[in-house]
Amino acid sequence: MLALLLEKKANAAMEACSAQAEGRAKKGKGKGKGKGKGKGKGKGKGKTPKCPKVTEIMDMAAEEYAGEMCVFTELGWMDNDMVSDDDLIMADIATLPSEIAEALTGDGYDEC
């Protein structure tokens, strides 16, 4: 019975986040550079690759995992600053059937 509460909560979260996902899908990723034609000049010498800045990495991760972050936020598992509510997560996991809850909280999960 308790697992049904988490199921309803998760379904509501996914429904709330689906509109956001549709908006991101319509936005698209742009054309990009594409592949050039003909022979190029080669790689060149002495240029060091440019590493992305931390903010760029965070922006890429936020875009890549926007759907998951939305669901976790809707569930109350994470706030807008990406701080998790571990007590609520564990309380929700405890509502699942024992074999599933054990798989998510047991020693085997910690080792993984």
Distance CA 91, CA 13 (A): 17
Distance CA 104, CA 38 (A): 53
Q: What pLDDT, on the 0 to 100 scale, is given for residue 81?
A: 87
List the alpha helices (DSSP H) in 1-112: 2-27, 54-64, 66-75, 86-94, 98-105, 107-111
pLDDT per residue over 67-95, tens digit each?
999 999 999 999 988 899 999 999 999 99
pLDDT per residue over 15-29, tens digit each?
999 877 766 666 655
Share of the chain above pLDDT 90, in %: 50
Reply yes or no on whether the pLDDT at 37 is more than 80.
no
Distance CA 77, CA 30 (A): 32
